[in-house]
Structure 1
Amino acid sequence: MLSVFKTAYENLITRHPGGVLVFVALLTVVAALGLPRFKIDASADSLTLEADEALDYYREISERYASGDFLVVTYRYRQGDLFTDPALDTLRQLSGELAQVPGVESVQTILDVPLLYSPKPEISELADGIRTLSDPDTDRDLARQEFLSSPIYRELILSPDGQTTALLVNLELDRRGLELVRERDALRRKRDSEGLTEAESARLEEVSAIYLQHRTEQDLVSRQRVDVVRGILEGYKSEAELFLGGVSMITADMIAFIKSDLVVFGAGILLFIIVTLLIIFRQVRWVLLPLSTCILTAVIMLGLLSWMDWRLTVISANFVALLLIITLAITIHLSVRYREFAAQNPQWDRRQLALESVRFMAKPCLYTALTTIVAFASLVVSGIRPVIDFGWMMTMGVALALVLSFLIIPAVLMLLPKRADGIGEDNSHAFTLLFSRFAENRRRLVLTVAVAAAVIGAVGATQLRVENRFIDYFDSSTEIYRGMLVIDRRLGGTVTLDIILDKPQIEEPAFDGEEDPFALGVGDSGADSDGAGDYAFTSADAFAAEDPFASDDPFAAESETVEPSYWFTVAGLSTIEQLHDYLERQPEIGKVQSLATLYKVARDLNGGPLNDFELAVARSGLPAEISDVLVDPYLSIPNNQARITLRVMETDPNLRRDELIQRIYEYAHDEMALAPENIRQTGLLVLYNNMLQSLFKSQILTLGAVFIGILLMFLVLFRSLSIAIIALIPNMLAAAVVLGGMGLAGIPLDMMTITIAAITVGIGVDHAIHYLYRFRSEFAKDGDYLATMHRSHATIGRAMFYTAITIIAGFSILALSKFVPSIYFGLLTALAMSAALLGSLTLLPLLLLIFKPLKGPLESREAPGKPEVAGEGLAGA
């Protein structure tokens, strides 16, 4: 079967080279037609785990409390005090314009939030109307003091210096999107756990397509809305210092970063390829041939992804650069081998040169491509959607690069006239021979350095961490960074965390079948020291009967429509307040909001504690302006549930998300005796933490999959366990160097750096395959290990050096990104590839000399002195 395929391939290349190129051209045109469909995804879905149950709970809570997305605009008046007429008039005008933007539900500013301490009213006066800063008779000094010190607004809406405020631009909740995605995820979970019926499978496919289309439309609308908001803010930049923040804004900017990276990386890599090929080959044909192969591979792959509606994320934005680098490496190996044959066999015609080149390089290139594919395919076990997509994209891309390289290059060489001029001018083998002589003469040093690198790498790897600050993902010049910095330091934090409290299961006291005679009066009995007493558990029933004094109750109309709630009793509010106060004491946490805020204000306005009856009456009389701000976002009566919202300060250098989450649980369970089933945490911080905590497991899984897959391929290729292990050692060392270096340098694992070790092994092992394949071929000539090593360095060593330098410099171009993880990814991978190259040119041949795993007929004829280095006199060798 294999021989039939080989014959068919050779006949196709030698007899129909023009047809091959026409086919590739047509394929390119068809793929290019799909490029207008190309899309980028920077949504929150692309930064979460593939099967995270916390994500569905987060969506459920968002829908329950109508907490849609929002934008935050920070406002600092340039020309004077914030509380002057010009400053407030400008703020009012800006707020009005933002409120008119399509998709904006409301805009909340210091102008329209209710004031309860400017001056402080009696509780009974609340129903008469709520004062705001917009009222002409409001004392602005008192209002400023309220914004700075009241439990409602402290660290929320005004900076400590009283000069920076925030406009909260609330966006309409995408209920349709939530319904679709929750239905899709429910079907996915059922599919994975118990299987789906035919109808359910069809529905899953249908709802997935509908949701994808809906999200595409909503992402476009969201980006347009951000552009409109930015346009409005631009008109006020001369009067105020303004920064925009929020998930929608970050998403929009990340898409801009991805597009920029695609252009910068693509252009940078192409320019680098041209320069590299000119330096290496110094002939136009050897520049245009690899360059055109790289470009065609990238165009076809991007077109294929576009037709499949497979979207790039901030992680897979490096896909084009990587594909160009890997394709170039394959073409360089083919080109160098062709030129070697042309220099050694000037009598061969172009057909024989092309055939012998592809015959010799087919197996090592196939196995190097397969090992690279194994490295990228291993990423699919990570559980992180953008990393999974990146793995599959590169798997397909590397396979396409291999096929196109072995179609385009030999087909073009069959059509071009044979040229031998300039081929003998390359003397780079003299440089690579330095490595073989170093390995021969400095054996102890090479082994000592290798052992030291392994030990240091192991020690450093134990210090790897996954905790990192999201703000550090962005360059300090970007608006994302500057906006998050202002919001974090002046306005109470950025990343949201919600604590959800469910009503505890409480046994009702028994009264021998009789009703509790004190049902209405329990609120007046003494509570324990923390404000909670057993009486409070039955207080909700106190309002079940019709109030006989309803006609005299000033809040009677409202009280008939207010449902009782455990969380609006002394017991419930005391529980919330205890946890609320604990959260406020945590150094990483900024602003905390809950029903406890209203409870504190109510006690203050009342001049003392309230009992359950007073709380119920007060709640029934709350004006809508206060209820909308202090009750509705934190209470779900139908679900017997309370919600505490808080914001975590991303700029805190001591932030440890997982430790903070566990600390909150431990306090709730151990100190407050809350049952585990009655408290849950959700929010973006939880989702992001879940993804980070999966990175260690993912790192182990991906590396394990890579090593096992590559070891099996080595066994098939070389049919020797000892050779397979020898080949893996330098690449394992390279992975240890980069992981250990990250640990020692304090660089955390993230969605980008998690891929480095697997990619390093997958690509770096290509050097080992090419070297061992040539070493085995050269060894068969005389069985002399030393002579074989020098000949291998003088021939395949050059191609290894070219491709490695190309890969190292290509990855280094990623340092031009504005997305910091991409910078780390590029530079660390370049470091790892440098280590892999040095290992393949020094440690690998030394291990071959020491263990002598090859069994040749002339093995015993190893020369006692320094052998003549074959290849030094070869033209073009």
Structure 2
Amino acid sequence: MVIFTRLFKRLQAAYENLVTAHPGWVLGVLALLTIAAIAGLPRFKLDASADSLTLESDTSVDYYREIYERYDSGDFLVVTYRSRGVDLMSDEALSSIRRLSDELAELPGVTSVQSILDVPLLYSPKPSYSELSSNVRTLETEDTDRDLARTEFLESPLYRELILSEDGQTTALLVNLDIDETGLALVRERNELRRQKSSEGLDEAQQQRLDTVSAEYLTHRTAADAQARERVSEVRAILDNYRGEAELFLGGVTMITADMIAFIQSDLVVFGAGIVLFIILTLALIFRQLRWVLLPLTTCVLSVVLMLGLLSWLDWRLTVISSNFVALLLIITLAITIHLAVRYREFLAENQDWDKRTLALETVRFMARPCLYTALTTAAAFTSLVVSGIRPVIDFGWMMTMGVGLALVLAFLMIPAGVMLLPKRQVNHRADSSHAFTLRFSEFTERNGSLVLLVAFIAALLSAVGISQLKVENRFIDYFDESTEIYQGMSVIDQRLGGTTPLDIVINRAPEEAEEDFGAFGEGIEDSEYGSADEFSAEDPFAAEDPFAGGDEFGEEEDPFGDAGTDDAAEEPVATYWFTRAGLGQLEQLHDFLEAQPEIGKVQSLAITYKIARDLNDGSLNDFELAVARQSLPDDINAVLVDPYLSPEINQTRISLRVMETDPNLRRVELIERIRNYAVNEVGFAEEDVQFTGMLVLYNNMLQSLFKSQILTLAAVFLGILGMFLILFRSLSLALIALLPNILAACVVLGGMGLAGIPLDMMTITIAAITVGIGVDHAIHYIYRFRAEFAKDRNYLATMHRSHASIGRAMFYTAITIIVGFSILALSKFVPSIYFGLLTALAMSAALLGSLTLLPKLLLVFKPLGPEASAEAEPEKQMEQERVAVEEQHQGC
């Protein structure tokens, strides 16, 4: 212990000598570090990829990628097209769609463009089987009846709510994009190595491979994201040429990613600059001296530049979640510098004969411990974010932890070094009347202490009720202002074209179960004109002789299906349960249930193929007819009706549906459980055979993880801060008193969210940590000053008034700066930023009120510093004397 004490004293002496004897060297080193940071800024990157919306360890992500690759369901963009002044089926409108489609198809990375011009028509008019296999009709086929085609688009089970709006005037073009095979391979290998590392461990070679693959994937993703954003810009440039002909909106994950990066950039530039201007105005109004504007402002700007430079060199990216990092760091740094500036000016006003060195050192010595502990508690609160399991949230926690440490170091270097270089100048308190305002809080607490406790109790009860109503369900569309293209495009797709958010239901059939079901393959064939069921093999219905050898009524040739009866096994499809009446019947039952759910728009599955097959056959089909029909489908129809929904090699089928983001009653967890229960209990699927995937599942997993990892771990954060309070104050009662107002402030903001129906999301979930981290600063500074003032006369009431008139001013300055600074975010077009700004402002208001009313009242009630020196003195007379003394100290205000 002695060794540590000596080491600490030596470090303290070295620091004091450095900032007072060599302030120029300090500022010179900081200038060099700033230049190095600025050199790294061109490497700075933003990230709004899908990875930022998913859990890092979520196995559902791997499953999603597996299904994504198996069914060749690559990324895509959606263009909604609503003609202006002409009918959508007119030559003019269709010609415009064709030109637009051709231009989009020429873009790099676009594999194909599907529109109403390209999709196969099955009811315009309804063909026979032989016609279907030999001649696929589209809207551009010369003799196609466009009125019939319109009716098909509106009413057929395949295209209804998919390709044409109910009024027949809005359609969609699907711009299919290349599947990123390289990225999928890299991320698959990286995740496998990560799992092995967490379960078995890695040897040196495997660890090196993990590092290499991770770096390669990050580099590849950066390049791919840049190409995707460039592609979105090119698509928009093409669309701009057609806006005179049609109302156009662009949708799709890639477009949302590009626009979210634009929102982040806008918030960084606009609100960062806005907060800097606000800081200048605030410092000018508070201190009315140029030095006390320049020194804190320079410290704030340096903290941001150095951190952004460090992040750039480390290749850490800002995401949607960490987009407010700059604003937070500016505010936290400003709070530390204001406390130092206020204390320095107080020392100068009270000790005008002190020289600059003494003033600087006394300020540093007095503020070192409370500022250190406020930084530690703030860092502890942000560190709690690292347990979320979501990489951007984890990074945000570490960024803020590092940023808080940097802000503390910079403030204790810049402020003392700066005042050492500048000439000593007297402080004019006459223009500062803030102490009169903060004294009103102490007077109110003195006269209405019982009311303060009652209001705090009521607030606690209401907060408990509100917290019980907190939810993590929210609509992604609500993240965006109604004026943005994201919002407008999602609304059009949702309301006119069958929903936006994809959800896939994947159903497996175990091999042994499939074999049992195939035992009934011949059911229904005995009554068919093709012959008896004994003529066909259940294991391979195509291995028998050609059942059409004697001809039939379906066509003039022996085999109207072309190669249906071929002996070439390479062309025969794998037998699958999902192309039997039993399998398709189950799928149809579930499909119809899904279509009846109000939150669900378009549903696509093999059930649609079954409905169309029955319709074209003018009646039901038996298992053999289904198998033959499946083999006879031409490639372009097979690509629409079968391939996206069937993996016969593993007896797996996929139901693809889109959820209505605009539905006000959307509850993701409830919807998934409702579907699961029906599939298992009503349809009869085994529970383990029914899996859910898609962006809806991944996003929901992220939200649920946020709730569990953050709300339920707040108690651990408070316990950690309580431990720090115990070390700082060395009193359990004082530590508990300091903690209570901050617990209440955090509960007030969370309870307010619950009562107002504001859901927790990837940004608002961090407000609790911010409230705790910044809110406890007030308590630390107040109690630290209260304890110092109490030692003068051991009078609690007098100490409260003196504390409000001194440290209360610094608390008032910093709180108002934080409140107004974050309120600026209300001007953003990104709704989570708006909520973040306003809710943080509310939290800081609650923390300030708690520290200026509830905290001093608790100190007066419990007297944790021991008994007063003269309990028998006349309280009113003594308090009047204290108020007069305080007023005299700040006369002229």
Check whether TM > 0.5. yes
1:116-151 residue CA offsets vs partner (Å, 9 max, x unmatched): 100001112212211110112100000000000000
- Return the offset for 1:522: 3.6
- Return the offset for 1:746: 0.6
Give me the whole-angstrom Cα distance separating, in 2, the residues matched to 1:507 and 1:737.
Answer: 55
Which runs of structure 2 are paired with 1:570-585 in the superposition (5 Å)?
Answer: 570-585=581-596
Residue 843 of structure 2 corresponds to residue 843 of structure 1: no
Residue 295 of structure 2 corresponds to residue 289 of structure 1: yes
The equivalent of 2:599 in structure 1 is: 588
- Return the offset for 1:276: 0.2
Q: Is the 8 A contact 2:729 2:735 kept in 1?
A: yes
**1:700 aligned to 711, 725, 728, which one?**
711
The equivalent of 1:265 in structure 2 is: 271
Q: Give the secondary structure class of the aligned counterpart of 2:57.
A: coil
1:773-799 residue CA offsets vs partner (Å, 9 max, x unmatched): 000000111111111111101100000
Give me the whole-angstrom Cα distance separating, in 1, the residues matched to 2:675 and 2:664.
Answer: 19
Residues 644 and 609 of structure 1: CA distance in aligned 2, closer, same or farther (over 3 Å): same
Residues 574 and 520 of structure 1: CA distance in aligned 2, closer, same or farther (over 3 Å): closer
Q: Is the 8 A contact 1:382 1:701 kept in 2?
A: no
Q: Which amino acid aligns with 1:225?
A: R
The equivalent of 2:553 in structure 1 is: none
Residues 57 and 191 of structure 1: CA distance in aligned 2, closer, same or farther (over 3 Å): same
Q: Is the 8 A contact 1:474 1:818 kept in 2?
A: yes
The equivalent of 1:858 in structure 2 is: 869
Q: RMSD value over aligned CA atoms? A: 2.0
Q: Give the secondary structure class of the aligned counterpart of 2:809.
A: helix
1:705-751 residue CA offsets vs partner (Å, 9 max, x unmatched): 32011101000000011011100111111111111111111111111
The equivalent of 1:530 in structure 2 is: none
The equivalent of 1:531 in structure 2 is: none
The equivalent of 2:455 in structure 1 is: 449
- Return the offset for 1:303: 0.3
Q: Give the secondary structure class of the aligned counterpart of 2:304.
A: helix
Q: Is the 8 A contact 1:148 1:159 kept in 2?
A: yes
**1:490 aligned to 492, 496, 521, which one?**
496
Q: Is the 8 A contact 2:563 2:632 kept in 1?
A: no
Residue 326 of structure 2 corresponds to residue 326 of structure 1: no
Residue 743 of structure 2 corresponds to residue 743 of structure 1: no
Q: Which amino acid aligns with 2:189?
A: E
Determine what percentage of the aligned residue pairs are the same residue: 71
Q: Which amino acid aligns with 2:235?
A: V
Q: Give the secondary structure class of the aligned counterpart of 1:705.
A: helix
Residue 275 of structure 2 corresponds to residue 302 of structure 1: no
Give me the whole-angstrom Cα distance separating, in 1, the residues matched to 2:526 and 2:618.
Answer: 18
Give me the whole-angstrom Cα distance separating, in 1, the residues matched to 2:833 and 2:223.
Answer: 28
Q: Which amino acid aligns with 1:320?
A: V
**2:787 aligned to 761, 776, 796, which one?**
776
Q: Give the secondary structure class of the aligned counterpart of 2:684.
A: coil
The equivalent of 1:468 in structure 2 is: 474
Give me the whole-angstrom Cα distance separating, in 2, the residues matched to 1:458 and 1:862.
Answer: 42
Give me the whole-angstrom Cα distance separating, in 1, the residues matched to 2:429 and 2:852.
Answer: 24
1:205-235 residue CA offsets vs partner (Å, 9 max, x unmatched): 1110010000000000000000000000000
Q: Which amino acid aligns with 1:7?
A: A
**2:572 aligned to 557, 562, 566, which one?**
562
**2:231 aligned to 225, 250, 253, which one?**
225
Give me the whole-angstrom Cα distance separating, in 1, the residues matched to 2:331 and 2:385.
Answer: 19
Q: Which amino acid aligns with 1:134?
A: E
Residue 541 of structure 2 corresponds to residue 542 of structure 1: yes
Residues 540 and 168 of structure 1: CA distance in aligned 2, closer, same or farther (over 3 Å): farther
The equivalent of 1:717 in structure 2 is: 728
1:481-516 residue CA offsets vs partner (Å, 9 max, x unmatched): 000000000000000011111124546889xxxxx9
The equivalent of 2:30 in structure 1 is: 24
The equivalent of 1:553 in structure 2 is: 559
Give me the whole-angstrom Cα distance separating, in 2, the residues matched to 1:137 and 1:860.
Answer: 105
Q: Which amino acid aligns with 1:355?
A: L
Q: Is the 8 A contact 2:506 2:652 kept in 1?
A: yes
- Return the offset for 1:553: 3.3
1:31-69 residue CA offsets vs partner (Å, 9 max, x unmatched): 110000000000010011121111110000001111110
- Return the offset for 1:520: 7.8
1:616-670 residue CA offsets vs partner (Å, 9 max, x unmatched): 2212211111011111111112222111100000000111100010111111111
The equivalent of 2:353 in structure 1 is: 347
The equivalent of 2:444 in structure 1 is: 438
Q: Which amino acid aligns with 2:610?
A: Y
Residue 883 of structure 2 corresponds to residue 873 of structure 1: no
Give me the whole-angstrom Cα distance separating, in 2, the residues matched to 1:707 and 1:446.
Answer: 23
Q: Give the secondary structure class of the aligned counterpart of 1:871.
A: helix
Residues 505 and 636 of structure 1: CA distance in aligned 2, closer, same or farther (over 3 Å): closer
Q: Is the 8 A contact 2:372 2:408 kept in 1?
A: yes
Give me the whole-angstrom Cα distance separating, in 2, the residues matched to 1:633 and 1:854.
Answer: 73
Give me the whole-angstrom Cα distance separating, in 1, the residues matched to 2:719 and 2:236.
Answer: 51
Q: Is the 8 A contact 2:510 2:651 kept in 1?
A: no
**1:636 aligned to 644, 647, 662, which one?**
647
Which has the larger displacement, 2-11 or 792-801? 2-11
Q: Which amino acid aligns with 2:438?
A: T
The equivalent of 2:552 in structure 1 is: none
- Return the offset for 1:860: 4.3
Give me the whole-angstrom Cα distance separating, in 2, the residues matched to 1:53 and 1:469.
Answer: 24
Which runs of structure 2 are paired with 1:371-450 in the superposition (5 Å)?
Answer: 371-450=377-456
The equivalent of 2:153 in structure 1 is: 147
**2:822 aligned to 811, 815, 821, which one?**
811
Give me the whole-angstrom Cα distance separating, in 2, the residues matched to 1:508 and 1:296.
Answer: 67
- Return the offset for 1:543: 2.9
Q: Which runs of 5+ in 1 are unaligned?
A: 511-515, 528-533
1:496-541 residue CA offsets vs partner (Å, 9 max, x unmatched): 011111124546889xxxxx9x9884451589xxxxxx99x98443
Give me the whole-angstrom Cα distance separating, in 1, the residues matched to 2:476 and 2:386.
Answer: 24
Q: Is the 8 A contact 1:429 1:872 kept in 2?
A: no
The equivalent of 1:51 in structure 2 is: 57
Residue correspondences, number: 865
Residue 837 of structure 2 corresponds to residue 826 of structure 1: yes
1:302-352 residue CA offsets vs partner (Å, 9 max, x unmatched): 000000000000110100000000000000000000000000000000110
- Return the offset for 1:692: 1.5
Q: Which amino acid aligns with 1:344?
A: E
1:137-180 residue CA offsets vs partner (Å, 9 max, x unmatched): 10000000000000000000000010000001111111111111
Residues 859 and 147 of structure 1: CA distance in aligned 2, closer, same or farther (over 3 Å): farther
Residues 396 and 546 of structure 1: CA distance in aligned 2, closer, same or farther (over 3 Å): farther
Give me the whole-angstrom Cα distance separating, in 2, the residues matched to 1:239 and 1:100.
Answer: 21
Q: Is the 8 A contact 2:349 2:427 kept in 1?
A: no
Give me the whole-angstrom Cα distance separating, in 2, the residues matched to 1:609 and 1:461.
Answer: 55
Give me the whole-angstrom Cα distance separating, in 1, the residues matched to 2:729 and 2:43.
Answer: 44
Q: Give the secondary structure class of the aligned counterpart of 1:766.
A: helix
Give me the whole-angstrom Cα distance separating, in 1, the residues matched to 2:287 and 2:521.
Answer: 95
- Return the offset for 1:198: 1.9
The equivalent of 2:740 in structure 1 is: 729
Give me the whole-angstrom Cα distance separating, in 2, the residues matched to 1:303 and 1:131.
Answer: 59
Give me the whole-angstrom Cα distance separating, in 2, the residues matched to 1:595 and 1:175.
Answer: 27
- Return the offset for 1:861: 6.6
Give me the whole-angstrom Cα distance separating, in 1, the residues matched to 2:513 and 2:90.
Answer: 57
Residues 20 and 357 of structure 1: CA distance in aligned 2, closer, same or farther (over 3 Å): same
Residues 545 and 16 of structure 1: CA distance in aligned 2, closer, same or farther (over 3 Å): farther
Q: Give the secondary structure class of the aligned counterpart of 1:591.
A: strand
Q: Which runs of 5+ in 2 are unaligned?
A: 1-6, 550-556
Q: Give the secondary structure class of the aligned counterpart of 1:557.
A: coil
The equivalent of 1:84 in structure 2 is: 90
